[in-house]
Structure 1
Amino acid sequence: MIGPVAYRLKLSQELSRVHNVFHVCNLKKCLSDDTLVIPLEEIQLDDKLNFVEEPVEIMDREVKQLKQSRIPIIKVRWNARRGPEYTWEREDQFKSKYPHLFENPPAPTTS
């Protein structure tokens, strides 16, 4: 404790980029659950210490019909550490950011 509302925590070397002083309102009691533990070497962080999650594959495609337009959307599977995570994204915006996912288009389905 370094004051009435701040604590300095001893962090491991792997967390050396994390500031070690915390205001008490940011600290919460934690009950450990070993099934949720993620090895630190598997976590990717950017320069601002945000989790980096990358898209893995495109799972599905749809066209969203609005009053006067049609918007192609895709269902994307992410490499989230808390388990499979899927989101619907606008295809045009996603393609400009992650063009490598569009290099091998899916084969057309036949009926």
Structure 2
Amino acid sequence: MKGQTRFGTKGKLAPQYIGPYDIIEKINPMAYQVALPLDMELMHNVFHASMLWDYLRDPLHVIKSTHVLLSDDYMYEERRNQIVNQRIKKLRNKDIPLLKVDWQNHGAIYVTWEREDDMKKKYPELFPLDPTFFSEEDV
């Protein structure tokens, strides 16, 4: 398996098993057709029985689906919910101001550190006209 990619990841830490997915059809005693998500639509959806594991039902294990509004070209816009925190990353020769942003289109809490100048370009309405909005004392 050297050099093979498995589920979009290359290397020995790639996931070997993914799921659970519903079985659509039993083709023969050893082959099953599985309902795969849209991001895996290029993968063949018929698997040998040895590649499938039984799913042990757990009443506490409930998978919630999230609905995302897509445009005509199947893209969606990430919208920031709020700026949670800020800091300045110090490198050898320069300082990079960073903002911790909470994003809206995710079911769970999803926060990332973004560069302040990138956020000012994408979302100018977040920043007031006052240049001292983010001062050194707040960091």
Task: Output the CA distance in 2 between the equivalents of 1:53 and 1:26.
Answer: 31
Match of 1:49 in 2: 74
Match of 1:70 in 2: 95
Q: Per the alignment, in what secondary structure is the counterpart of residue 61 of structure 1?
A: strand
Residue pairs, 1:1-111, within 5 angstroms = 23=42, 25=43, 27=45, 35-38=63-66, 40=67, 43-103=68-128
Which sections of structure 1, spanning at least 5 residues, go unmatched? 1-17
Q: Which is worse superposed, 67-76 or 94-103? A: 94-103
Deviation at 1:27, TM superposition (A): 4.2
Deviation at 1:77, TM superposition (A): 0.2
Deviation at 1:83, TM superposition (A): 1.1
The runs of 4+ residues in structure 1 deviating greater than 3 Å are 26-29, 103-106
Letter in 2 for 1:37: S
Task: Output the CA distance in 2 between the equivalents of 1:69 and 1:47.
Answer: 42
Q: Over residues 37-87 of structure 1, what are the superposed CA-to-partner deviations in whole Å (9 max), with x where a residue is unaligned?
A: 22x4xx222343133321111100100000000010000000133311000
Rg comparison, structure with higher value: 2
Greater relative contact order (Cα < 8 A, sep 6+) = 1
Task: Output the CA distance in 1 between the equivalents of 2:116 and 2:126.
Answer: 11
Letter in 1 for 2:64: L
Q: Which structure dedicates a bigger proportion of its chain to helix?
A: 1
Q: How many residues align?
A: 84
Quote the RMSD (CA, aligned, Å).
3.4
Q: Per the alignment, in what secondary structure is the counterpart of residue 36 of structure 1?
A: coil
Task: Output the CA distance in 1 between the equivalents of 2:128 and 2:44.
Answer: 44
Task: Output the CA distance in 1 between the equivalents of 2:44 and 2:80.
Answer: 30
Q: TM-score, normalised by structure 2?
A: 0.47
